[in-house]
Structure formats: structure tokens, C-alpha cells
Amino acid sequence: MAVSNELFEAYKTNTPVRIEDIEVANIIDAYDNQEKLLERKKELGEKLKGYKISLTSEKTQKLFNSTHPLYGAMTDKQILESVSLTDYNEPLLELELVFNIVETLDVEDTLEDICRKCTISPGIEIPDGRYKNWFPNIDMFQVISDAAVSGGVVIGEPKQLTYANIASIKGTILKDDEEVKVGYSTEVMDHPAEAVKWLVHELDKRGKNLEPGMFVSSGTFITPFVLEVGSYTATYENVGSVSIEVTE
């Protein structure tokens, strides 16, 4: 069975596959697998709504033996307001700012242009792989094939912010009102707008772009950790807060 079909069945039935059963030779095949997977999700009535960017820090790149970021397509079904763990395989949590596209982004755009053409929301990203015991045991090509192990994203209230507004800001995640982790926007390719610019150029290579109504979850401030039952709140300097309730 083709890789994209195996991953689609795992996604649809929430039945993870064995890591050794998914073999991907190179990055071109990996992104081809991802596009085929997205087409299968569209057969279920899902619509492409945005992208997540992964491996935007040296720490996360080392986890998957990479020297560069990668991206994954996300659908409308993956925009979350609450989470039940039974709907996921082995979900994690990440602190990420979300760029909401207001004007189409172009390869000629500067970092300041990107911020001007987007609103920015506080976000919580929930990575989840379609593999058994996936984190951090799968390789980069397996990550890409599985839409960058995209589980879901929580998007808070948007603000119009400048490049300077989100430079070197702190993000904090609380679980049941207790601080769990703290990270900084500098972990995201030095600045989250840099990650969005990278994505614009990568999508352009495949004849795609970021259009109004789409979003980009721009990269994690922290090393991801296991999602558990409880109430989580992510707070970002200058941006705001967003919360999610996780049940069994």
C-alpha cells in the first residue's frame, strides 16, 4: 500500500502504524506523500486552511536529524476549541504564534510586510503522529509525509502587530494554573516572521501560496511535551492568551 494511503487509514481510524512499515526515500517523495494525504482528507470533506512549520530551532532539528525546518498542511477539522485524548494517538503540546493571512503573501515580501499582511494570534499547537511511539523516533521524511505530524491547533484572538512587537517575546504555558514551560520567540528561526517567510518560499517552489483566510502556526517556542488531561493556557507578551480544555 502507498505511504499516503497507509497514513490516511491511520488518520481516519486513529489506528497508528509501525514506524518500520513506512519507508520514505527522500524529501521530494515525502512532500509528494503529504500532498496525496491531503487529497485523501479532502475526500472526507476537509478543506485546506493553513500550515504548520516544524523544526524551527536547533533543538528540535536535532531531534529529527535535520538542519532545516519543514512544513505540513492543516485542514479545517484541525482547528480546535477543545480536545479529547481519545481522538488522538500520542499528542504533544507546543507554544506557537499563529499568523492569520489577510493579504496574499509573496516571495518579494519583507519580514515587515509579512507582519503587516497578517494578524497574529496566541496559539497552542498539538502535534500528533500516525505512528506507534513516534516521538522522537521517526525520521524527518516520515514527519513530512504525515503532514509534519499535525494534530491540531488552537487559535486565539488576532491582533495587528509589527515585527518589533513579537521580537524576543516570552511565551508561557500553564497547566491547571501552574507554570509548565517558558520559551522565547527567538527560538523560532530568531523571529517567527522568518519562519513564515521561509514557508512562503518553500510553497512557491511547488506553485502554492498563502492566501487570505489561511493561517500559519509558525514554530514552537519550547521543546514539545506530552499532552495530558487538564486546562492549558498559553500566554505571550504583547500578543495575549489562549486556553484549551483537554478531557479523556
SS3 sequence, the chain?
CCHHHHHHHHHHHCCCECHHHCCCCCHHHHHHHHHHHHHHHHHCCCCEEEEEEECCCHHHHHHCCCCCCEEEEEEHHHECCCEEHHHCCCCEEEEEEEEEECCCCCCCCCHHHHHHCEEEEEEEEEECCCECCCCCCCCHHHHHHCHHHEEEEEECCCECCCCHHHCCCEEEEEECCEEEEEEEHHHCCCCHHHHHHHHHHHHHHCCCCCCCCCEEEEEECCCCEECCCEEEEEEECCCEEEEEEEEC
Question: For 110-137, how does the pLDDT look when each residue is reduced to its tens digit (9 = 90+)?
Answer: 999 999 999 999 999 999 999 999 999 9
- Mean predicted confidence (pLDDT) in 15-22: 96
CB atoms within 10 A of CB 29: 15
User: Residue 51 — very low, low, confident or very high, per pLDDT cuts 50/70/90?
Assistant: very high
Q: Is the pLDDT of residue 63 over 90?
A: no
What share of the chain has pLDDT > 90, as a percent? 96
Grid coordinates representing 88 are 488522538
pTM: 0.97
pLDDT of residue 1: 63
pLDDT of residue 65: 85
In CATH, the number for domain 3-247 is 3.90.850.10
Cα distance between residue 192 and residue 146, in whole Å: 23
The residue extents of the domains of the chain are: 3-247
User: Residue 243 — very low, low, confident or very high, per pLDDT cuts 50/70/90?
Assistant: very high
